[in-house]
Amino acid sequence: MIGFILRRLLQAVLVMLTISFASFVIQGKLGDPVTQMVGQNVTLAERAQLTESLGLNDPLLQQYARYLSDALSGDLGVSYYHKQATLAVIGDRLPATLELSFCALLIVLLTATPLGVFAAIRPRHILSRLIVIVSTLGLSVPIFVVAMFLVYFFAVEWQWLPSFGRGETHLLFGFWSSGLVTKDGLQHLLLPSVSLAFVLAPIFVRLIRAQMLEELDSDYVRYAWSKGIPAHRVYFVHALKNTMLPVITVGGIQVGTLIAYTILTETIFQWPGMGLLFMEAVSRVDAPLISAYLIVVGLIFVLINTLVDLIYLWVNPRVRIPGYGQ
């Protein structure tokens, strides 16, 4: 088990190194840092001097090592556009993205679990067939189409809800600007988080249903029935507990999907989060900001994935035996 954790951590470090190398290359190759700093109106000699002092003539590996040690000490460069430390720029936008993701995941959890479980327990029920069809349909509708319809009806036709931006926010704990504590903020949150949930929920409904069906067919569930224990215990204690284990793993894998979808959602709703920041940085060719975003998102991604694996290890008593998962 300790071997498993070590291997998992080693893998996380390797992935992080790869990501950091990619963002280092992007930072170096994208645009010209010297021009960005001093503009076009300097002599060639001055440019050469600046290039030298920035260490841009050093061997690539040495530059990478410097980049890495800077990154580890929390310095990911200065944004060309915002003229601020990139980490600070990203930090400002982080709460918006996290609150959006959190609300969407909450909606997903509250809808997908009961629907998936029901569809598995009563596979022949008309509602179950409906759940299956609708979740396939949900899988087939791109998020921007969902968003478009929501915006058209709720914001344009009926004018109940705002269609873009984050609304009024409050500073919590001195650093977290939250939209969850104001009515205006919550109203702004509704459409984006529902759109995001709408495309994520079908994935989980199908996953929970399929896994639950498999568990219900398993020997230990049949054994549980043979003990004459009540149906709700068989479903919710015996089967659901085992269903949720693989769901946790796949949920971890979906972090990447979630990140991609937040980029889309934020672009559609002009939600001032990290995803929108990234798309803005791309259109402005803001190399340091692009690479800093990659590092931060990569770190979040690797952290959550590693964490999910460790949680799985902790929740699943089976894995706690030596030699499992080889």
- Binding residues among 76-115 for another protein as defined by CB under 8 A: none
Does 148 help bind another protein (rule: CB under 8 A)? Answer: yes
CA distance 215 to 225: 13
Q: Which stretch binds another protein (CB under 8 A): 41-49, 87-95, 168-176, 218-226?
A: 218-226
Does 27 help bind another protein (rule: CB under 8 A)? Answer: no
Candidate list 9, 10, 54, 231; residue touching another protein; CB under 8 A: 231
Sign of the alpha-carbon torsion through 157, 110, 164, 148 = negative
- Residues 287-306 close enough to bind another protein by CB under 8 A: 287, 290, 294, 297, 301, 305
What are the angstrom distances between the C-alpha of 24 and each of 66, 76, 79, 143, 203? 10, 10, 14, 32, 34
> Shortest distance, CB of residue 15 to another protein, whole angstroms?
6
Beta bridge pairs of residue 178 = 170
Sign of the alpha-carbon torsion through 100, 101, 103, 107 = positive
Does 15 help bind another protein (rule: CB under 8 A)? Answer: yes
Does 30 help bind another protein (rule: CB under 8 A)? Answer: yes
What are the angstrom distances between the C-alpha of 106 and each of 79, 197, 198, 257? 33, 8, 12, 16
Does 5 help bind another protein (rule: CB under 8 A)? Answer: no
> Shortest distance, CB of residue 105 to another protein, whole angstroms?
15
Number of residues that bind another protein (CB under 8 A): 72
Continuous segment of H or E residues that includes residue 68? helix 60-72
Q: Which stretch binds another protein (CB under 8 A): 89-97, 104-112, 185-193, 277-285?
A: 277-285
Following DSSP, what letter does each residue of 190-256 receive, concatenated?
HHHHHHHHHHHHHHHHHHHHHHHHHHHTSHHHHHHHHTT--HHHIIIIIIHHHHHHHHHHHHHHHHH
Candidate list 10, 17, 260, 303; residue touching another protein; CB under 8 A: 260
Of 182 and 267, the one with the shorter C-beta distance to another protein is: 267
- Is 189 within 8 Å of 179 (Cβ atoms)? yes
Q: Which stretch binds another protein (CB under 8 A): 57-65, 91-99, 101-109, 133-141?
A: 133-141
Q: Pick left, alpha or beta for residue 292 (phi over 0 → left; psi -120 to 50 → alpha; otherwise beta).
A: alpha
- Residues 49-68 close enough to bind another protein by CB under 8 A: none
> Shortest distance, CB of residue 171 to another protein, whole angstroms?
30
> Shortest distance, CB of residue 76 to another protein, whole angstroms?
16
Does 248 help bind another protein (rule: CB under 8 A)? Answer: no
| Amino acid (1-letter code) at residue 50 | L
- Residues 169-208 close enough to bind another protein by CB under 8 A: none
Candidate list 141, 172, 181, 307; residue touching another protein; CB under 8 A: 141
Does 217 help bind another protein (rule: CB under 8 A)? Answer: yes
Does 152 help bind another protein (rule: CB under 8 A)? Answer: yes
